[in-house]
Amino acid sequence: TTYQSACIAAQDMKEEFPDANIYVVDSLSASLGQGLLLYLAAHKKQEGLSAQELVQWVEDNKLHIDHWFTVDDL
Any idea where the domains of the chain sit in the sequence? 2-64
C-beta contacts of 50-55 below 8 A and 24+ residues apart: 51/21, 51/23, 52/23, 55/23, 55/25
Q: Tell me: pLDDT of 57 over 80.
A: yes
User: What is the CB-side half-sphere exposure of residue 14 using CA atoms within 13 A?
Assistant: 10
Q: Which pLDDT does position 70 carry in this prediction?
A: 87
Cα-Cα-Cα-Cα dihedral of 36, 70, 64, 21, to 10°?
Answer: -40
Q: Which pLDDT does position 29 carry in this prediction?
A: 87
pTM of the model: 0.79
Q: Which pLDDT does position 41 carry in this prediction?
A: 96
Q: Which CATH class is domain 2-64?
A: alpha beta
As a whole number, mean pLDDT of residues 55-60 equals 96
Residue 32: which pLDDT band, with cuts at 50, 70 and 90? confident
Q: Which pLDDT does position 30 carry in this prediction?
A: 82
